[in-house]
């Protein structure tokens, strides 16, 4: 689900969604039509009220972001991800696999990719870089490893507009600050964090029980010079993404 901020950026830039537009979603399961057979996109929070972009972030709504990817369309979605550096070798001293989009040839694959499942693969270093546009007016900062490398290099200019970067940044703050937010456990008085949780399910097909990796990426909105992305393996049945949420919070408590 850490992918959802990127999907939001691509969808906003393409006019597929607007921040105010509320999508009517009922129940925990959704499919576009009967051609999907027995396959459904599922979400954790099931309400009856229409879901706008802010609520989709707060509740990490898989269905909203699946629909956003479908509205964006296969070609525009893939092009948008490439603007964020997907399918591109990263000039980085430590060997990293390039982040890949995978097949988007079927509607289900496109929908699943919108919330970070499908065949999406992304390194954690690239993930950090992909969140920098939201605090740099849309510019994506190049990740570096060595102390003598030039800091604050712009890798990709205007990945999203400054306006859309601001919209997503405000929603990422809500993920932590809102009492219903999936990362509310990281909220600290006088030290506002923004970020996004994620749970990567590792299994071959729907209905199976697999392992889970928990994710959280966060930064302090008042002084966003430190951003932390953390992944913890095998979090199923022991806290899910709340494990990295609490660990990242502890790091910020030490440096605040």
Q: Are the CB atoms for 134 and 173 separated by under 8 Å?
A: no
Supply the pLDDT for residue 7: 98
What does the pLDDT look like over 196-224, one tens digit per residue?
999 988 776 777 778 899 999 999 999 99
Supply the pLDDT for residue 256: 87
- The active-site residue, picked from 1, 99, 113, 129, is 1
The backbone torsions φ and ψ at residue 197, rounded to the nearest 5 degrees and listed phi first, read: -90, 165
pTM over 0.85: yes
Supply the pLDDT for residue 201: 81
Q: How far is CA 240 from CA 62, 82, 138, 198, 246, in A?
A: 16, 29, 30, 9, 11
Supply the pLDDT for residue 73: 98
**Bridge partner list, 202:** 211
d(CA 61, CA 25): 10
d(CA 231, CA 247): 10
Q: Are the CB atoms for 241 and 197 separated by under 8 Å?
A: yes
d(CA 24, CA 44): 16
Q: Where are the strands (E) in 9-119, listed by range? A: 29-30, 41-42
Return left, alpha or beta for 138; rule: phi > 0 is left, psi -120 to 50 is alpha, else beta.
left
Instruction: Give me the residue label for tokens 């097949």.
Output: 103
Domain edges within the chain? 4-255
Could you say which DSSP state residue 61 is in? -
pLDDT by 10s per residue, the chain, length 256:
999 999 999 999 999 999 999 999 999 999 999 999 999 999 999 888 999 999 999 999 999 999 999 999 999 999 999 999 999 999 899 999 999 999 999 999 999 999 999 999 999 999 999 999 999 999 999 999 999 999 999 999 999 999 999 999 999 999 999 999 999 999 999 999 999 999 988 776 777 778 899 999 999 999 999 999 999 999 999 999 999 999 999 999 999 8
Supply the pLDDT for residue 241: 96
Q: Exposed/middle/buried for 120, CB within 10 Å: 0-12, 13-18, 19+? A: buried
Supply the pLDDT for residue 202: 79
Domain 4-255 CATH superfamily? DD-peptidase/beta-lactamase superfamily (3.40.710.10)
Q: Specify whether 99 is catalytic.
A: no
């Amino acid at each position: 689900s850490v992918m959802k901020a990127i999907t939001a950026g691509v969808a906003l830039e393409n006019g597929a969604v607007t921040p105010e537009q509320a999508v009517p979603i009922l129940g925990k399961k959704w499919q576009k039509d009967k051609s999907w057979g027995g396959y459904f996109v599922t979400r954790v929070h099931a309400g009856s009220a229409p879901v706008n972009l802010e609520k989709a972030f707060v509740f990490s709504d898989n269905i909203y972001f699946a629909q956003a990817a479908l509205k964006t369309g296969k070609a525009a979605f893939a092009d948008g991800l490439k603007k964020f550096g997907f399918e591109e070798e990263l000039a980085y001293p430590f060997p990293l696999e390039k982040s890949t989009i995978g097949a988007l040839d079927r509607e289900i694959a496109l929908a699943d990719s919108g919330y970070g499942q499908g065949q999406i693969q992304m390194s954690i270093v690239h993930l950090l870089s992909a969140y920098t546009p939201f605090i740099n007016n849309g510019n994506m900062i190049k990740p570096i490893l060595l102390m003598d490398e030039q800091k604050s290099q712009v890798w990709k200019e205007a990945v999203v507009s400054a306006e859309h970067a601001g919209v997503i940044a405000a929603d990422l703050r809500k993920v932590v600050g809102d009492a219903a937010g999936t990362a509310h456990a990281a909220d600290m008085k006088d030290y506002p964090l923004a970020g996004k949780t994620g749970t990567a399910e590792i299994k071959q097909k729907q209905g199976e029980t697999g392992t889970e990796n928990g994710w959280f990426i966060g930064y302090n909105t008042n002084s966003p010079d430190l951003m932390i992305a953390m992944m913890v393996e095998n979090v199923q049945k022991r806290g899910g993404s709340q494990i990295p949420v609490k660990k990242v919070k502890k790091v910020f408590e030490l440096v605040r």
